[in-house]
Amino acid sequence: MKIQQMFRDDIDRKINGVVKVDQDANDVLVQELNEYVITKELKKHFISFFNNYGDAFTEKTADIGVWISGFFGSGKSHFLKILSYILENKEVDGMKTVERFRSKFEDDPATFMLIDRATKGETDTILFNIDIEGSINKDATAVLRVFAKMFYNYLGFYGEDLKVAKLEQFIDKQGKTEEFRRVFEEKNGQPWLETRDAFAFFEDDIVDTLKEVLGMSEESARNWFNGTETVEMSIAQLVAEIKDYVSKKPDNFRLLFMIDEVGQYIGSNTDHLINLQSLVEKIGSECEGKVWVVCTGQEALDEIIKTRQDEFSRIQARFKTRLSLSSASADEVIQKRILSKTDEADKRLTEVFESSDSVLRNLLKFNKDDALLDIRGYETSQDFSKNFPFVPYQFILMQKVFSEIRKHGNAGKHLSGGERSMLSGFQEAAQKIENKDEYSIAPFYLFYDTVHTFLDGAIRRVIERCQNAADEDRGIKLQDVNVLKLLYLIRYLDNDVKSTLDSIVILMADNINMDKIKMREEVRESLNRLLSQNYIGRTGNTYNFLTDEEQDIAREIKDTSVDTAQIIERIGHLVFGDIYDKKKYRYKIYDFPYDQYVDGQANGSVTGGMKLQIYSIATDDTEKNELRLQTNSKGQAIVVLGDGKYYELIENALKIRKYVKTRNVAQLPKSVQDIIRNQQDEATKYENDALDAIKKAIETAEFYVDGEHVEIKSGDAKSKLDQALEYLVTHVYYDLELVGKTANDDSDIVSILTGADQYIAGTNPNNGAAQKIEEYLEMQDMKHINTKMFDIQKRYSELPYGWREIDIAAVVALLIYEQKVTVKYSGMTIQPSDPRLPDMLRKKSEVGKTEITKRHVVSPAKVRETRDFLRDFLDVMDVPADEDGLISFIIDEFTKLEEHYEELNDKYEGHKYPDHAAVRDAVRIIKDVLSQKSDNIALIDKVVASEDTLYDMQDHLKNVESFFKTQVSVFDLASKFVESLKNDLDYISQDEEAEHALNQMRLITTVFDGKTYDYKRIPELNELQNIVKKSHDKMLEEKRESLYEIVRSCLEEIHKNAKSNEDTALISERADRFFEQKKEQITSGMSLALLDGLSVPMWNEKDKATMAIESAMKPKVVKPIVSNNQNTEKPVVKKEIIKKVARQQMFPAKVLKTDEDIDAYVENIRKQMKQYLQGSDGIQIN
């Protein structure tokens, strides 16, 4: 059966594929009304609309806005127009519109009653496409002006020009419309309605008509005609006129503004959106349900305003009734209007499906990664019959094709204006195969011909050039053109169906019995031909339609060269940056660094340890033969990648990246910028696909590890690389297991050094590791090479050991404890007990300064000799017998001796104690012994060699030790006493016994350099000091008594002279205070010389006070009366000369022993006094 014969209605009949709101030809209306399909979805919308609309007849409402949304070609314009027909309920071809719909609602009489009730009254609709009727200049009030235009047109005025419309409105209000039109026609010769669109050319006729009809003066009429001012129209003014118009109509009259493509017209323009919002709000509030506004738009209202939700929340309230047409509605309309089958055809198609069900499922099944879940084939025989010759997924794809073509700007003016629809597209596609049989289905590329005449020239030129190449047999075949058409249709549907080879084969299917394998090869060949001539591009396993500009850029990218090294480097980044990003491989508790290589090229830094080598297809085949791979894999893992497109994909991505860098993108046309931006996206896809391809290549790779061809059977790419490295670790780190017990922290190392971690001899788990390090140190010692802990750490962390840093330190600690190695730090031997030792074995800042050497053992004889000496020298019995213990003992004990002798030496600071040189020698001797503590053997040798010196030192210091223990306090006290008497020696010399005792004390407390000090005399000091002190104390007492007498004598004389006189009271009090202070000084004074010095100040103070008293007690001198006689001569008064002599000078201190001494002392004073008196009137002794 031919497809053409299957349809209930003639497939070739003329159908108005796209309903335009301004099409109202009678035959078109009849077809539209009769064939209009009320789908389940549309029925819901009819109910929703007429419920809200009908309620307004009984209750006033301001909610008069209706918003109809739906994707491009969904039938929203048709629905709007049908609503207008129903609402006006005009008679069309002898039948009311509503009656034509009665049969369509046979199964739902309630809904029909809603419609019937709402259309009983008079209703007018103003139906228009705002995109067509709106002016080119879309300013802020564009929506208002379109409404005004269409309203005035509806009233019969010339809405195209508001100036003319307002004139006609004025004339109409005067009731002179017919007169105006008649007079104008008489004067002009043509009817006004036919010429008003060119009224500017008929100035005289219009002026004369205005003069005659309205009685205007010629000047006024010409002023109006020539006036350049524009007619301003506000929302309030327009709504007032609309309200005035409907208020004159019956109560059940309704006026509806039914506007198509409002969503497209206002877009995201804020001004237009506000204009519409304000207008609808004003109409609702003023007209109270008598005037409605019904709009259509491809987007739902909330989608239009979603970015400005707060600002435009009110517009949502204005459009309370919202109707959304989905894809299901469009599918149902197509199925009923075009694809409805005859009973015979339905039966035949059912038979075909039942016999070919499994074939169809296999033919039309997409790969799960290539298509969404709703991209499906036929599910039942009814599904097959209902959609034949189309496949259900074609409805979904075509809706998206229409939407994407329009969205990406490749659709021409007519497509965006609505001249294409789903309905016409499917009808035309069906017509192209109408002569085929029931086993034929429509390939998807057929839909290209339903839209191609309305596409941009850039798209059509590519297809046409390809078609010409096919017609002229220039390397292109007819099928290639069809594949190219298909690729254009799904160009923007990546999220729905990917343009892979398998998907293209399915979409190209034109017969149920098609050989899919054969078609796959044919399509592959077509794709290769199209690729070779740059009609299409390829990203991974997907193919893309290219425009002329895209083809030019694709050709330039293809010609861009990329170095193999760059491709290899990028493979390395993908493998070691995305797939396997571990910098170290973890095996048990170990982390092993490994060097990363791709085709011999290092990826990142190189450590010289394990190596993981990736061989891509870039590696020469000679490197990949079995013997070569086994040889080269010694000590490393080589992964020979399986086949895949990864290399080509990476090359393509790098070409794009390099090409983009060579272009100054910002200076290129926007279209080229968009293409380059898309190419950059393609590069990203290439890299993502390359990543997947490399993963698969690793999963199918051949593995060669440490000279063996290893079979790794299961796992993903990461797992297989893990397994390869694990195999490599166990083979190249073959001494890893020598460390039988691992350490956790420094406390474990301390336990080993202190012997807390004990094992039975020969059972320590780390004996094998310790033996390896000991052998290494023996070899270094034989070569006389110093070995740092750093060298040991480095050696045993690398192949073939791989030990952890802390475990290496623990093994060396074991050797230290077993006294098999010596540790030196900065030249000093470090003992096992040193708390710094763990840091020296581990810390990066310390291991380079820590030297580990093979220990040279001290002979047992020397150890024994040293122990015997130390027992005697130190007077101890418990001296360690092992070398390390003995060394530690020597260092500890001699360090204590050093500290002790340093303390003794410090005591000499500021003192003159005996045998200071001996103490200094002791410090030097001990330091000399300790200077060898960095070497065990040298230290033992030094102790043995210094035995005599140490014994002598010990003997010499016995008196010193005793002195500082028992005698130093006596010595210090005596020295201090002698020092305190240094000013009183002349006085003490008067007592022979005391003088002798003091001289003996001075002799004992004085230390002479180079002479032996007699410590035995120190006990004499106490008795000698008592003798001197007794004599000195007696002298002090006598001296105090004489001074007390002077105080008494002076005070007596002062008080006697003062005679309790008021004028002398202050002088007496001052003197009392002075002598009281002197008495205190006398009592506390401990030096005879100092006490002697107190007498002179006291005598001076007595004399000073006496003279002050005498002066105070002299009688007042009465001044003589001075004569006015200026000639009287003043008597000359002679000034008295008194010489002042110090008492100390006159009476010097001296010891007088005999009468002759006294006479001589007095005679000397007499002579001095006489000398002072010569040439003066007196002497004042101070």
Task: Tell me which amino acid residue 546 is.
Answer: L
pLDDT tens digits, 672-706: 888 888 889 889 989 999 999 999 999 999 999 99
256's enclosing H/E stretch is strand 254-260
Alpha helices in 636-716 (DSSP H): 646-662, 670-699
pLDDT range class, residue 413, cuts 50, 70, 90: very low
pLDDT range class, residue 899, cuts 50, 70, 90: very high
Residue 19 reports pLDDT greater than 60 = no
Q: What is the mean pLDDT of residues 494-506?
A: 91
Q: What is the mean pLDDT of residues 719-743?
A: 93
Q: ω into residue 389 within 30 of 0, thus cis? A: yes
pLDDT tens digits, 249-303: 999 999 999 999 888 888 777 888 888 989 999 999 999 999 999 999 876 555 5
Q: What is the mean pLDDT of residues 1018-1032?
A: 92
Residue 1176 reports pLDDT greater than 80 = no
- Retrieve residue 286's tokens: 């003023």
Q: What is the mean pLDDT of residues 211-224?
A: 90
Residue 414 reports pLDDT greater than 50 = no
pLDDT number for residue 228: 64
Report the 10 Å Cβ neighbour count for 472.
Answer: 9
Between residues 416 and 611, which one has the greater pLDDT? 611
Alpha helices in 249-295 (DSSP H): 262-266, 270-287
Interstrand relation of 850-854 and 1138-1141 (parallel, antiparallel or unpaired): unpaired
Residue 120 reports pLDDT greater than 70 = yes
Q: What is the mean pLDDT of residues 840-863?
A: 90
pLDDT number for residue 419: 40
Q: What is the mean pLDDT of residues 569-575?
A: 95
Between residues 22 and 998, which one has the greater pLDDT? 998
pLDDT number for residue 50: 94
pLDDT range class, residue 580, cuts 50, 70, 90: very high
- Retrieve residue 750's tokens: 């301390």
pLDDT tens digits, 782-818: 999 999 999 999 999 998 999 999 999 999 999 999 8
pLDDT number for residue 702: 94
- Retrieve residue 925's tokens: 């001797």
Lowest average pLDDT, out of 208-212, 503-507, 759-763, goes to 759-763
Q: Quote the CA–CA distance of 532 and 537 in Å, as a whole number.
A: 9
Q: What is the mean pLDDT of residues 171-183?
A: 93
Strand 65-70's sheet: what is its strand order?
123-129, 254-260, 291-297, 65-70, 321-325
pLDDT number for residue 665: 84
pLDDT number for residue 123: 95
- Residue 259 DSSP class: E
Sequence-ordered strand ranges (E) for 1117-1161: 1138-1141
Q: What is the mean pLDDT of residues 427-443?
A: 94
Each residue of 387-426: b (16+ CB within 10 Å) or e? bbbbbbbbbbbbbbbbbbbbeeebbbeebbbbbbbbbbbb
pLDDT tens digits, 377-406: 899 999 999 999 999 999 889 888 887 877
Q: What is the mean pLDDT of residues 1079-1091?
A: 89
pLDDT range class, residue 459, cuts 50, 70, 90: confident
pLDDT number for residue 66: 95
Residue 1097 reports pLDDT greater than 70 = yes
Q: What average pLDDT does the structure give for the chain? A: 87
- pLDDT above 90: percentage of residues in the chain: 51
Residue 517 reports pLDDT greater than 90 = yes
pLDDT number for residue 316: 66
343-to-5, 338, 429 alpha-carbon distances in Å: 11, 15, 22
Residue 983 reports pLDDT greater than 60 = yes
Residue 23 reports pLDDT greater than 80 = no
Please answer whether residues 921 and 915 qualify as being in contact, where contact means their C-beta atoms are separated by less than 8 angstroms.
Answer: no
Task: Tell me which amino acid residue 1129 is.
Answer: E
- Retrieve residue 435's tokens: 């002569």
pLDDT number for residue 804: 94
| Cα 871–chain centre separation | 70
pTM of full prediction above 0.95: no
pLDDT number for residue 304: 57
Residues with Cβ within 8 Å of 198's Cβ and at least 6 positions away in sequence, in order, are: none
pLDDT tens digits, 313-348: 556 667 889 998 876 677 888 888 899 999 999 999
